Chain A
Amino acid sequence: MPESTALLEVRDVVAGYGRGPAILNGAGITVEEGRTHCIIGPNGAGKSTLLKVVSGLLPARAGEVVFDGESIAGLRPDEILRRGICFVPQERALFPDMSVRENLRMGGYIITDRADLDRRLDEVLEAFPVLRERGGQRAKSLSGGEQQMLTMGRTLVLRPRIVMLDEPSLGLAPRIVSQVFDIIRLLKDKGITVIIVEQNAVVGLSNADLGCVLDLGRTMFEGPADGILEDPRIRELYLGKRAGAA
Chain B
Amino acid sequence: MTDILQILLIGAVLGGVYALMASGLTLIFGVMKIINLAHPVFIIIGAYISYWLFTLVGLDPILSMPIAMIALFCLGIVVYKLIFEREASSAKYSEMTVLLTFAVALSFDGLLGVLFGNIQRITSPSYAVEAVMLGDLFLPKGQFYAGLISIALIGALVAFLKFTRFGYAIRATTQNREAAQLLGVNVGLVSTITFGIGIGLAGASGALISFIFSFFPARHWEWIALLMSLIVLGGMGRLMGAVVGAFLLAIVSAFVGSYFGSTWSMMTFYLALFLILLVRPQGLFGEKME
* Surface stretch bound by A, among B4-12, B97-105, B166-174, B215-223: B166-174
Number of interface residues of A (CB under 8 A): 24
Q: Which residues in chain A, 48-93, are within 8 Å of chain B measured between CB atoms?
A: 55, 57, 77-78, 81-82, 86-87, 89, 92-93
* Surface stretch bound by A, among B33-41, B130-138, B176-184, B192-200: B176-184
Return the chain A residue nearest B162 by Cβ: A102
Report whether A78 and B171 are in contact in the complex, using a CB–CB cutoff of 8 Å.
no
Contact of A95 among B165, B175, B181, B184 (CB under 8 A): B175
Report whether B176 and A94 are in contact in the complex, using a CB–CB cutoff of 8 Å.
yes
Report whether A95 and B179 are in contact in the complex, using a CB–CB cutoff of 8 Å.
yes
Return the chain A residue nearest B176 by Cβ: A95
Report whether A93 and B176 are in contact in the complex, using a CB–CB cutoff of 8 Å.
yes
| Distance between B53 CB and nearest chain A CB, rounded to angstroms | 38
Contacts of A86 in B (CB 8 A): 182
Contacts of B172 in A (CB 8 A): 95, 98, 106, 109
Report whether B184 and A96 are in contact in the complex, using a CB–CB cutoff of 8 Å.
no
Report whether A96 and B176 are in contact in the complex, using a CB–CB cutoff of 8 Å.
yes
Contacts of B179 in A (CB 8 A): 89, 92-95
What separation, in Å, do the CA atoms of A97 and B170 have in the docked complex? 13
What separation, in Å, do the CA atoms of A87 and B171 have in the docked complex? 20
The answer to the question of A110 belonging to the interface, with a C-beta cut-off of 8 Å to chain B, is yes
What separation, in Å, do the CA atoms of A106 and B187 have in the docked complex? 14
Contacts of B169 in A (CB 8 A): 109
Return the chain B residue nearest A155 by Cβ: B183
Return the chain A residue nearest B285 by Cβ: A97
Q: Is the interface of B mostly helix, strand, loop or mixed?
A: helix
What separation, in Å, do the CA atoms of A57 and B171 have in the docked complex? 21
Contacts A92-B176, A95-B172, A98-B172 given; indicate if A110 touches B183 (C-beta within 8 A): yes
| Distance between A103 CB and nearest chain B CB, rounded to angstroms | 9
Contact of A81 among B168, B171, B182 (CB under 8 A): B182
What separation, in Å, do the CA atoms of A78 and B184 have in the docked complex? 4
Return the chain A residue nearest B185 by Cβ: A109
What separation, in Å, do the CA atoms of A184 and B179 have in the docked complex? 20
Contacts of B168 in A (CB 8 A): 102, 105-106, 109
Report whether A82 and B184 are in contact in the complex, using a CB–CB cutoff of 8 Å.
yes
Interface digits, B185-220 against A, CB 8 Å rule (1 contact, 0 not)?
110000000000000000000000000000000000
Interface digits, B89-114 against A, CB 8 Å rule (1 contact, 0 not)?
00000000000000000000000000
Contacts of A16 in B (CB 8 A): none
The answer to the question of A168 belonging to the interface, with a C-beta cut-off of 8 Å to chain B, is no
Contacts A102-B168, A105-B168, A109-B169 given; indicate if A81 touches B175 (C-beta within 8 A): no
What separation, in Å, do the CA atoms of A57 and B182 have in the docked complex? 8
Report whether A57 and B184 are in contact in the complex, using a CB–CB cutoff of 8 Å.
no
Q: Which residues in chain B, 113-168, are within 8 Å of chain A measured between CB atoms?
A: 165, 168
Report whether B178 and A89 are in contact in the complex, using a CB–CB cutoff of 8 Å.
yes
Report whether A95 and B182 are in contact in the complex, using a CB–CB cutoff of 8 Å.
no
Contact of B180 among A82, A102, A105, A106 (CB under 8 A): A106
What separation, in Å, do the CA atoms of A96 and B181 have in the docked complex? 16
Contacts A102-B168, A105-B168, A109-B169 given; indicate if A77 touches B182 (C-beta within 8 A): yes
Return the chain A residue nearest B186 by Cβ: A78
Return the chain B residue nearest A139 by Cβ: B175
Report whether B184 and A97 are in contact in the complex, using a CB–CB cutoff of 8 Å.
no
Contacts of B175 in A (CB 8 A): 95-98
The answer to the question of A107 belonging to the interface, with a C-beta cut-off of 8 Å to chain B, is yes
Interface digits, B221-258 against A, CB 8 Å rule (1 contact, 0 not)?
00000000000000000000000000000000000000
| Distance between B158 CB and nearest chain A CB, rounded to angstroms | 14
Contacts of A82 in B (CB 8 A): 184
Report whether B182 and A55 are in contact in the complex, using a CB–CB cutoff of 8 Å.
yes
Q: Which residues in chain A, 9-60, are within 8 Å of chain B measured between CB atoms?
A: 55, 57
What separation, in Å, do the CA atoms of A96 and B174 have in the docked complex? 10
| Distance between B290 CB and nearest chain A CB, rounded to angstroms | 12
What separation, in Å, do the CA atoms of A95 and B179 have in the docked complex? 8
What separation, in Å, do the CA atoms of A213 and B186 have in the docked complex? 34
What separation, in Å, do the CA atoms of A97 and B173 have in the docked complex? 12
What separation, in Å, do the CA atoms of A77 and B184 have in the docked complex? 7
Contact of A77 among B165, B176, B181 (CB under 8 A): B181
Beyond A89-B179, A95-B172, A98-B175, 10 additional pairs, beta carbon < 8 A: A57-B181, A77-B181, A78-B184, A81-B182, A81-B183, A93-B182, A95-B179, A109-B165, A109-B183, A112-B165
Sample (27) of A-B pairs whose CB atoms are under 8 Å apart: A55-B182, A57-B178, A57-B181, A77-B181, A77-B184, A78-B184, A78-B185, A81-B183, A81-B184, A87-B182, A89-B182, A92-B176, A93-B182, A95-B171, A95-B179, A95-B180, A96-B175, A96-B176, A97-B171, A102-B171, A106-B183, A109-B165, A109-B168, A109-B183, A109-B184, A110-B184, A112-B165
Chain B interface residues (CB < 8 Å from chain A): 165, 168-169, 171-172, 175-176, 178-186
